[in-house]
Amino acid sequence: MTSASATAPLSIAVLGIGMMGFPMARRLCEAGHRISAWNRSRAKAERLLPFGAQVFDRPADAVAQADIVVCLLEDGRVVEEVLFGLGTTDGLRPGSLVIDMSSIQPRQARDHAARLAALGVHHLDAPVSGGTVGAEAGTLAIMAGGKPADFERALPVFASLGRATHVGPHGSGQLAKLANQMIVGITIGAVAEALLLCEKGGADMGKVKQAISGGFADSRILQVHGQRMVERDFAKRAAVTVQLKDMRNALTTASEVGFDAPITGLFEQLFAQAAEHGLADLDHSALFMELASRNGMN
């Protein structure tokens, strides 16, 4: 990736300047690329003006001169609407590359790739893991599905954002992201339940976390989300609603391929109940609060 990042600046359109889109687009600006930005609410995109980006009112205008288009949108329905419902495809240049870094269903990614290919436009699905912290630092894990040549072409973009791995054909990036989110969501639940058991039994949760760090139970989830639980800090980084969406996407995909995922099914129910009980817009580590409430520990 080092040699790829040394190539000439690219013209890149970024569609979706939200919690992830803003820091990622800013890093691309700071890397010297020419950035055109669009967001449904223009004010969010205008935060990029001090970094040299151009802001457009229509996505078709934002992509008109772009070699590469990066999508950072809420879900598959929104990606569908922005790409195919708002006239964006009218502005796409033949031979350009759309890198969809949103988290959507694998079948949606394959469908988008096929429809863009019919227009002479290339496609990668390349969702990310690492949250806003990774987006700010340029340390995201990027899981890319699509043609190897398109992955190579995208490396100068990925170089500013994190570590990219080509995991297979179209849709494979989204499969890898679902695997990531299944592990994240399930592990958040395991950490929360274990720490709450310790607190219920009279142990110091913070000390328990410290005691098991470095052993087989250690993980980034224990360190980062476990600390949020100890501190009762559930300010949104990745929301309960987003985690719930990912678990549901995983279950839908599992059903499509004939795979039984009972553990994911259980945690989909738990995150759904957390959302129903007023935790929807808190950090996904707030599943801790749902489990605490079940045990009269709030």
Give catalytic residues, as residue numbers.
177
Cα(200)–Cα(76) distance, integer angstroms: 41
How many alpha carbons fall within 13 Å on the CB side of residue 87?
Answer: 8
DSSP string, 169-237: STTHHHHHHHHHHHHHHHHHHHHHHHHHHHHHTT--HHHHHHHHTTSTT--HIIIIIHHHHHHT----S
Return the H-helix or E-strand segment holding 263.
Answer: helix 262-274
3-class secondary-structure state, position 71: strand
Tell me which residue of 145, 135, 125 sits closest to 238, measured CA to CA.
135
Cα(285)–Cα(80) distance, integer angstroms: 29
Per the CB < 8 A criterion, the answer to whether 23 and 135 are in contact is yes
Residue 130: phi and psi, rounded to 5, are: 135, -10
Residue 64: phi and psi, rounded to 5, are: -60, -35
Q: CA distances (Å), 284 to each of 104, 137, 140, 196, 290, in order?
A: 18, 21, 18, 16, 11
